[in-house]
Amino acid sequence: MGLWDALFGKKSKLGEIEKMSVGEMDKEQLRLEAVQDSIIAKVNTLEKRKDAALTEGAKKKSDLERKAMAVRYRQLDAEARDYVSQATLVSKQIQVIGRVTQMKRREGLLKREGLWSILSSVDTNELEQFMIDMRAKSLQGDREATRLLEILEEPATAASEEEDKELRDILSAMEAIGESGATDEKVEEAKKRFLEKETGSAEA
C-alpha cells in the first residue's frame, strides 16, 4: 500500500481530495505527529535497554552469560530498527499530508487559473515525481508549470537544496547544544546564531 492509500484510502486521483476539508487534514497531521512522538519514545527506551544490556554483558565473567546479554542486545536492536523504519514511514506521511493541505488551501486559485485539472489528473501515488517533473518543466520555460509552482510556493530553483541546508543548520545547532549541555543560555545562543544565518541568507 502506498503512502496516499495509507492516508486517504483507495483514491487514485487528487480530485478525490476535494471531499476533504483543511480541518480534517490538519487533524490527520496532528494524529501522525502524535504517532511519531510515540515511536520516538519507544526507540529511546529501547536504546537505553540496549546500552544496559551491553554494560551488563561486559561485567559478566562467563561466556554463557555474555552470550545471553549479546542475544538480548541483538533482539533489542532489531526491535529498535523496526520502530525506526516505522518512524521514517510516518515522517513521509506527514510530508505528504502537508503537501496535500498546501494544495487544498490554494484549491480556489488553482481552479480559477485552470491548474487544478492538471493536478487532479495525476495518480496520487505519482504526485511527488510529478512535482519534480513540474520543476524541470518550469526551468525549461513551461508557463503552466511555473505558475503552478508559484502558487504552491515551490520556486523552480534549488529550493530543495536550500531546505536541506537549513535542516543541516538546525541539526548542527541541536548538536552544539547537546555537546555543551542544553541550558537555557546555550539554547538561546544557538537560536540567535541560527536567526543570524537566516537574516544573512535573506539579505544575500
**Residue 113, number of CB atoms within 10 A of its CB:** 14
Provide the pLDDT confidence category of residue 163 given band limits of 50, 70 and 90.
low
Residue 123's SS3 state is: strand
Each residue of 73-105: pLDDT tens digit? 999 999 999 999 999 888 888 877 887 788 888
Residue 6 predicted with pLDDT over 70: no
Of 108, 42, 116, 118, the C-alpha closest to 80 is 42
- Which one has a higher pLDDT value, 91 or 148? 91
The number of helix segments (H) and strand segments (E) in the chain equals 9, 0
Task: Look at residues 149, 168, 165 and name the one whose alpha carbon lies nearest to residue 157.
Answer: 149
* CB proximity list for 189: less than 8 A, separation 6 or greater: none
> Is 13's pLDDT higher than 60?
no
**Mean pLDDT lowest for which of 54-68, 82-96, 160-174?**
160-174
